[in-house]
């Protein structure tokens, strides 16, 4: 079992005191996670001892940098269940990974009238790139509805013979819902379509195996799973990567160049034009080592415990509405809520004065906000370093915010 009090010792930032000496209670890991010393040291070690460009030089440092970068690729590929590291493209973010599929596959393959099914709970990263591609190809976006209790409305899944792609988040960044990706992959394949899974919120918290999920494309962020910002990845079936056009043109992604034309490098390098985020990707490899040592089963069990307690404690606060599934086994540790008439931004500001970092806003999911009938929500999200005391601190702070608002003391 994971002991968050021991885990916390690996995260130097969690020793900080903020806003007049209050201990920091970090509850915004869905936006970006904090980084353990092992990741910070891996990045520092790269710059202090091995810094050079990759795949270019023949001198020692260049060889070391290339080995570290490719070792990180193998670790990250293995972490998402991909035995072939060639199928793992390093990107700077989940957003970049999805744009790579939209630009390299969608633009090449989609025709007028082809349908792209997108769930109503997708982050803008898994919607806007498809809007852009649909505008240019004549393909059509089709909404996959969400039920009132925060699940995908599977009986109303709009997957038909016109569907070419289904886009679904492994876990919602607003509702916490864990989606039935395997079931949807099977439905997509039965209709002759492909499935893209946005793993930005899933991989950090759930044991992930792209083969078991049955997906064709899998995009994720490194910075939400203890890795540095500027790290992330795209996994795709190798034959799809072969078929796709490169997204960025430039150095390293080519095999041979003439003045008028060029041929492409082999995968994954075909998609890594220019100097990649070498140190960040190496840091992501260290994050994967750290998570493996904790064990993803323990990570999940810990978060289910925190989520169960948080759902209980927050439900007891009068006037507080929680969005998303009530069962902690069917959701992750991302809890979005609305408190009486208090705007989420005001709530986040009040909590910040107590040292609690939560997020407020539309969470880059405006169609979902419209579905929920709210302009924004407040959101607390947990990770390996959060404790039950953090959850209690959240409940106490929300209760006190509510009392201050209803007594007018805030005005
Ligand atoms: N969600 C949040 O606070 P990037 O920024 O490219 O690494 O990840 C984008 C992204 C894609 N899909 C999902 C499901 C996400 O949650 C995110 C990032 C953050 O919810 C920042 S908006």
Domain harbouring 326, CATH code? 3.90.1150.10
Ligand 1: nearest atom to the Cα of 221: 7
Check: CB of residue 12 under 8 Å from CB of residue 37. Answer: yes
Which helix or strand (DSSP H or E) is residue 26 part of? Answer: strand 25-26
Identify the pLDDT of residue 228. Answer: 98
Q: Which pLDDT value is given to residue 409? A: 66
What is the pLDDT at residue 404?
A: 86
Q: Is 14 within a domain?
A: no
Neighbour-count burial of 368, counting CB atoms closer than 10 A to its CB (0-12 exposed, 13-18 middle, 19+ buried): buried
Q: Report the C-alpha gap between 355 and 365 in whole angstroms.
A: 26
State the DSSP code for 24.
P
- Name the residue with the closest Cα to ligand 1, atom 2: 31
Residue 74 CB burial class (10 angstroms; 0-12, 13-18, ≥19): middle
Q: Does residue 331 sit in helix, strand or coil? A: strand
pLDDT, residue 398, reads 97
Q: How far apart are CA 309 and CA 330, in angstroms?
A: 15
* Contact present, 379 and 401 (Cβ < 8 Å): no
pTM surpassing 0.75? Answer: yes
At residue 410, the pLDDT reads 59
Ligand 1, residues 120, 174, 200, 332: which to mutate, most atoms within 8 A of Cβ? 200
- Which of the listed residues 266, 292, 318 is the one where a domain comes to its end? 292
Predicted confidence at residue 411, as pLDDT, reads: 54
Query: Exposed, middle or buried: residue 325 (CB in 10 Å: 0-12, 13-18, 19+)?
Result: buried
On whether residue 109 sits in a domain, the answer given is: yes
- Count up the domains in the chain and report the number: 2
Domain match, 186 and 97 both:
yes
Q: Is 119 left (phi over 0), alpha (psi -120 to 50) or beta?
A: beta
Residues of the chain with pLDDT under 50: none
Measured distance CA(312)–CA(326) in Å, rounded = 10
252, 271, 292: which is the final residue of a domain? 292
Domain that holds residue 349: 295-407
For residue 51, give the nearest of 326, 339, 282, 234 by alpha carbon. Answer: 282
- Cβ of 372: how many Cβ atoms within 10 Å? 23
Which of 27, 30, 94, 377 maximizes ligand 1 atoms within 8 Å of its Cβ, making it the mutation to test the pocket? 94
Here the tokens at position 81 are 């269940």
User: Which tens digits make up the pLDDT trace of 358-375?
Assistant: 999 999 999 999 999 999
Ligand 1 centroid–CA 11 distance in Å is 22
94 in active site? no
């Amino acid at each position: 079992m994971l002991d968050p009090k021991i885990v916390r010792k690996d995260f130097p930032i969690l020793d900080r005191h903020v806003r007049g000496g209050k201990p920091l209670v970090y509850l915004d890991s869905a936006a970006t996670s904090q980084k353990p010393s092992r990741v910070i040291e891996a990045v520092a070690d790269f710059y202090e001892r091995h810094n050079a460009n990759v795949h270019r030089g023949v001198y020692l440092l260049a060889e070391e940098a290339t080995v570290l970068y490719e070792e990180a690729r193998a670790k990250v590929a293995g972490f998402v269940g991909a035995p072939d590291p060639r199928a793992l493209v390093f990107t700077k973010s989940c957003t970049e990974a999805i744009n790579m599929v939209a630009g390299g596959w969608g633009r090449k393959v989609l025709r007028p009238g082809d349908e792209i099914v997108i769930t109503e709970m997708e982050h803008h990263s898994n919607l806007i790139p498809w809007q852009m591609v649909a505008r240019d190809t004549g393909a059509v976006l089709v909404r996959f509805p969400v039920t009132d209790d925060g699940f995908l409305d599977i009986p109303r899944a709009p997957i038909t013979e016109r569907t070419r792609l289904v886009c679904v988040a492994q876990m919602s960044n607003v509702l916490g819902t864990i989606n039935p990706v395997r079931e949807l992959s099977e439905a997509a394949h039965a209709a002759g379509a492909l499935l893209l899974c946005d793993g930005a919120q899933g991989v950090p918290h759930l044991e992930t195996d792209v083969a078991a999920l049955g997906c064709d494309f899998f995009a994720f962020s490194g910075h939400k799973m203890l890795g540095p910002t500027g790290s992330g990845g795209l996994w795709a079936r190798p034959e799809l990567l072969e078929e796709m056009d490169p997204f960025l043109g430039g150095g390293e992604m080519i095999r041979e160049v003439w003045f008028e034309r060029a041929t492409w490098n082999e995968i994954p390098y075909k998609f890594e034009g220019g100097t990649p985020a070498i140190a960040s990707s190496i840091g992501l490899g260290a994050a994967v080592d750290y998570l493996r040592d904790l064990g993803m089963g323990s990570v999940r069990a810990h978060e289910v415990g925190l989520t169960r307690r948080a759902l209980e404690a927050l439900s007891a606060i009068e006037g507080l509405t929680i969005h998303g599934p009530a069962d902690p086994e069917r959701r992750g540790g991302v809890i979005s809520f609305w408190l009486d008439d208090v705007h989420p931004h005001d709530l986040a500001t009040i909590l910040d004065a107590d040292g609690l970092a939560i997020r407020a806003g539309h969470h880059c999911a405006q169609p979902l906000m419209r579905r929920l009938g709210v302009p924004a929500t407040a959101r607390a999200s947990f990770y390996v370093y959060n404790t039950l005391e953090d959850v209690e601190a959240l409940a106490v702070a929300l209760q006190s915010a509510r009392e201050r608002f209803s007594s007018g003391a805030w005005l």
